[in-house]
Amino acid sequence: MLHYAVVFFVIALIAALFGFGGIAAGAAGIAKVLFLVFVIMAVVTFVLSLVRKS
């Protein structure tokens, strides 16, 4: 999932470089959402692993 967030971030950077504002904003928005989902899933997995070890 983090891979997809990075891919959309790169797409947003390239689109912004060429002046496609709408595409850049859309790709950046998708990258933010995917990154947030990744962080939430990583924290939940970390907490569950701590609970199972104790």
CA distances from 24 to 11, 18, 44, 48, 52 (A): 7, 9, 30, 36, 42
**pLDDT of the residue at 44:** 93
Give this prediction's pTM. 0.72
The per-residue pLDDT for range 6-19, each reduced to its tens digit, is: 888 888 888 888 88
| Statement: residue 1 has pLDDT above 70 | no
| For the chain, percent of residues with pLDDT exceeding 70 | 96
Place of tokens 């990258």: 31
Structure tokens at 53: 């070890």
Structure tokens at 18: 């060429």
SS3 19: coil
